[in-house]
Chains A and B, each alone.
Chain A
Amino acid sequence: MKALMAQTKMELMLTLRQFEGMLITVIFPPVLLIFFAGIGVKPSSADRPIDFLLPGMLALAVMSTGLVSLSIRTAYERNYGVLKRLGSTPLSRGQLLIAKIISVIAVDILDIIILIGIAYFLFDWHPTGALPIAIFALILGTATFSSFGLMLAGSVRPETTLAAANTLFFLFLLLGGIAWPLDKLPSFLSIPARIFPSSAFADALRDSLAKNPSFSLWNILILAAWGVVTLVIASRTFRWE
């Protein structure tokens, strides 16, 4: 227990010290939220831009923590031999993984507080919808994108992980229904974009936070499927050194 706490503290400290990671996970989503809400992007189905954008930015924040921050940090730790060195200490791999997950969840919670605070104070957003479904979707999204991140971190050079994570991040951001509604994309882009984990995640959040909330089974299944596939690949290909 002492070992797990110490490692969790270290993971949090490392997260805070990784400037690029903090930029993309903690600063970028609120900036985008303010920017897009300011210019008033919304699909025809939503009443106000903030109702469309807040769930999207929550999805973006969760996505960036697992897909970008976790993957790049882990890939470099493997490259520096840190994961190998930890392997000869009494800290177990399970404990290391739990510590990483806790640090991801902590950053996610920080993000969620910041984003909801901005929506509430600047854009007059009030909580509506089915909160338990939204929380379920956030937990599932955290798991899926953390698996995605570990898959990217597990077997290639850290430079490759960095490039892949950033590319996927921007692809999901631009085409994945996060900041730009899918129905405003041309159909040759919007059709594949519907099965992106980002659009499934953002739509599941939107449906649960809508005035008439619903449980979007299809989106939850897509998100869960991505989670299972990436987790299986990650656990089969992950190398500790």
Chain B
Amino acid sequence: MVETGEKSTNTLHDAISVRSLVKSYGERRAVDELSFSVWRGEIFALLGPNGAGKTTTVEMLEGYRTPDAGEVRVLGLDPIRDGAELKQRIGVMLQSAGVYPTVTPLEILNLFHDFYRDAEDPKKLIELVGLEESANTRFRQLSGGQQRRLALASALIGKPELLFLDEPTTAMDPQARHMTWEILQTLRDRGLTILLTTHFMEEAERLADRVAIIDHGRLLALEEPRVLTQTSAEEVQFTGPAGLDTALLSRLPSAHGAREERPGFYVMQTARPLDLLVELTSWGRDRGILLNDLRVGHESLEEVFLRLTGHELRE
């Protein structure tokens, strides 16, 4: 029913492959016939509102929950049956850090270090996530953002091939968030596969190679963010004061029509978008009206989401 962006069914080349996955809690289907693949070496984002089934899906991939139906392969393994082997090869960052409150970052990383056959040097990871000055501070005294960064470091300690991140940058300040994005991009460039859930559009748009939009446990779209947000080049969009005269706008020489989609958000049809941009800006200048976010044929991910699900992404 939906174009899923599948290239092939070759599970050898997929880090994750999910077929017709179903999970119900009582009467409610949390995950409903979900199918997708995550390719090796990509950053894959699961985007959806609270209760969309993101965490339930990820937790079935991590081996925490048993699917009611459907097939799941992670690095070619069954997360339940081959759990012991799989856990050597994945790294997991949950929504709650799951660290003993009285233990320091260095202590918890030293502990996790000994769980894995081949592990990273804890000090290097402390440096990577910028926790040098808090390496010997007890977990409960760290800020929310520092706790998230420690959770990321603990997910990386086993030199994973595949990283699961559930809402990785929630509770981070903008600086820590940008640092985290840079770390994840570096890791991806080194060949790591990353699956993350998020409700930050900017995060999905900036970071992800492909984005899956899910709602009510179903897949609504799966594409590169660039493709998802690209609509026809015959449209020009902008924001401005609400209640501009659209009849007047549509009489601009290159315009075929104009409408105010939401208060202050305008969409215009044209065959000559570049000309229309020039006409629009001078039209605005003559009237002292500031027009913002002028774009040709581009929706934001937020708008794509709104269009697909019929509601806004808020958590």
Instruction: Give the contacts of A1-41 with B (CB-CB under 8 A).
Output: 2-3, 5-7, 9-10, 13-14, 17-18
Known: A88-B63, A92-B84. A80 touches B114 (CB 8 A): no
A80 pairs with B102, CB closer than 8 A: no
CB pair B97–A85 under 8 Å, yes or no, is yes
**Residue on B with the closest CB to A14?**
B100
Q: In the complex, how many angstroms separate the beta carbon of B65 from the nearest chain A beta carbon? A: 10
B96 at the interface (CB under 8 A from A): yes
Q: Which residue of A lies closest to B157 (CB)?
A: A89
Given A80-B96, A80-B100, A85-B97, residue A10 in contact with residue B87 (CB < 8 A): no
Known: A84-B64, A85-B154, A90-B117. 17 other contacts (CB 8 A): A3-B115, A6-B110, A6-B115, A10-B103, A14-B103, A80-B96, A81-B96, A81-B98, A82-B99, A82-B100, A84-B96, A85-B92, A85-B96, A87-B64, A89-B158, A90-B115, A90-B116
Q: Given that A81-B98, A90-B84, A90-B88 are known contacts, is A6 also in contact with B114, CB under 8 Å in the complex?
A: yes
Interface presence of B244 (CB below 8 A):
no
Chain B residues, Cβ within 8 Å of A89: 87, 112, 115-116, 158
Q: Is B101 an interface residue (CB 8 A)?
A: yes
Assess whether B235 is interfacial by the CB under 8 Å rule: no
Number of B interface residues in the complex (CB < 8 A):
28
The tally of residues in A whose CB lies under 8 Å from a CB in B reads: 26
Q: Is A91 a contact partner of B98 (Cβ separation < 8 A)? A: no
B90 at the binding interface (Cβ < 8 Å): yes
Residues of A within 8 A of B (CB): 2-3, 5-7, 9-10, 13-14, 17-18, 77, 80-92, 241
Known: A3-B115, A90-B88. A14 touches B98 (CB 8 A): no
Residues of A within 8 A of B103 (CB): 10, 13-14
A3 vs B116: C-alpha distance in the bound complex, in angstroms? 8
- Kindly identify which residue among B88, B90, B98, B111 contacts A80, using a CB–CB cutoff of 8 Å: B98
Q: Could you name 17 residue pairs across A and B whose Cβ atoms are closer than 8 Å? A: A2-B114, A3-B114, A5-B114, A6-B111, A10-B100, A14-B102, A77-B100, A80-B99, A80-B100, A81-B98, A82-B98, A85-B94, A85-B99, A86-B98, A88-B64, A88-B94, A90-B116
Name the residue in A13, A17, A85, A91 with the highest tally of chain B Cβ atoms < 10 Å from its Cβ: A85
B114–A88 touching, CB < 8 Å: no
Contact B84 A88, beta carbon cutoff 8 Å: no
Residue picked from B84, B98, B101, B154, most chain A C-beta under 10 Å: B98
CA distance A91 to B108 in the complex (A): 14
In the bound complex, residues from chain A placing their C-beta under 8 Å from that of B107 are 10, 13
CB nearest to A3 among chain B residues: B115
B14 within 8 A of A: no
**Interchain CA distance A90-B63 in the complex, whole Å:** 12
Q: With a CB–CB cut-off of 8 A, which chain B residues contact A92?
A: 84
Interface residues of B in 78-100 (CB under 8 A from A): 84, 87-88, 90, 92, 94, 96-100
- From 279 to 302 in chain B, residues with beta carbon under 8 angstroms from any chain A beta carbon are none
Q: Quick one: which of B101, B102, B111 has the most chain A CB within 10 A?
A: B111
CB nearest neighbor in A for B116: A90
* Complex Cα gap A27–B113 (Å): 34
Q: Which residue of chain B has the shortest Cβ distance to A82 in the bound complex? A: B98
> Please, which residues of chain A bring their CB within 8 A of the CB of B116?
89-90
Question: Which residues of chain B are near A10, meaning CB under 8 Å?
Answer: 100, 103, 107, 111
Q: Is the CB of B102 within 8 A of A88?
A: no
Shortest Cβ distance from residue B170 to the other chain A in the assembled complex, whole angstroms: 14
B62 located at the interface, meaning its Cβ lies under 8 Å from any Cβ of chain A in the complex: yes
CB-based contact B88/A7 at 8 Å:
no
- The answer to whether B94 touches A80 (Cβ under 8 A) is no
Contacts of A90 in B (CB 8 A): 84, 87-88, 115-117, 158
Which residues from 55 to 86 on chain B have a C-beta closer than 8 Å to any C-beta of chain A? 62-64, 84
A6 to B92, CA, bound (A): 20
Roughly how many angstroms separate A154 CA and B114 CA in the complex, as a whole number? 27
CA distance A9 to B103 in the complex (A): 12
